[in-house]
């Protein structure tokens, strides 16, 4: 059974700071998706990465997929209060259910 770990579990920073959160898998990802979930809402997809070593940028967010496709990082530059939420990584296995990590809960203070 695949296990996903995310670190840190909690992160509280000031507006304007940079941060990185991590996702690690016990086995190779089929593909990896990052979601953000705001309080009282369902998760919303941020990005899908498929190829080892892939880097994707979404405004102030940079996603990296490890060469061995077993880990990923999400870097946020100049964090804003609107970035507050639960960041979830998920393996999107072919023909199977999605496996989600436990999430990193980010709080950006103004």
Partner 1 sequence: GAGVSQSPSNKVTEKGKDVELRCDPISGHTALYWYRQRLGQGLEFLIYFQGNSAPDKSGLPSDRFSAERTGGSVSTLTIQRTQQEDSAVYLCASSLAVNGAGTFYEQYFGPGTRLTVT
Chain residues 31-60 in contact with partner 1, contact rule CB under 8 A: 31, 33, 40-45, 48, 50
Our CA dihedral for 72, 101, 16, 75, rounded to 10 degrees, sits at 10
Does position 8 interact with partner 1 (CB under 8 A)? The reply is: no
Stretch that binds partner 1, among 29-37, 55-63, 65-73, 75-83 (CB under 8 A): 29-37
Residues 106 and 88: beta-carbon distance below 8 Å: no
Q: How far is the CB of 73 from partner 1 (least distance, A)?
A: 18
50 vs 78, beta carbon nearer partner 1: 50
φ/ψ (deg, to 5) at 75: -110, 130
Q: Which residues, other chains included, contact 103 with Cβ-Cβ below 8 Å and sequence gap of 6+? A: 6, 9, 37, 86, 87, 88
Binding residues for partner 1, total number by CB under 8 A: 28
Does position 105 interact with partner 1 (CB under 8 A)? The reply is: yes
Q: Which residues, other chains included, contact 40 with Cβ-Cβ below 8 Å and sequence gap of 6+? A: none
Does position 85 interact with partner 1 (CB under 8 A)? The reply is: no
Which residues contact partner 1 by CB under 8 A?
Answer: 6, 30-31, 33, 40-45, 48, 50, 86, 88, 90, 92-103, 105
């Amino acid at each position: 059974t695949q296990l996903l770990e995310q670190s840190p579990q909690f992160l509280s920073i000031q507006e304007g700071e940079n941060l990185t959160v991590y996702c690690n898998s016990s086995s190779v990802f089929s593909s990896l998706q990052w979601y953000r979930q705001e309080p009282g809402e369902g998760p919303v997809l941020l990005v899908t990465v498929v190829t080892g070593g892939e880097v994707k940028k979404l405004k102030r967010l940079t996603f990296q997929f490890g060469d061995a496709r077993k880990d990923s990082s999400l870097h946020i530059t100049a964090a804003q209060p609107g970035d507050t939420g639960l960041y979830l990584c998920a393996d999107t296995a072919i023909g199977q259910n999605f496996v989600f990590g436990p999430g990193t809960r980010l709080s950006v203070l103004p």
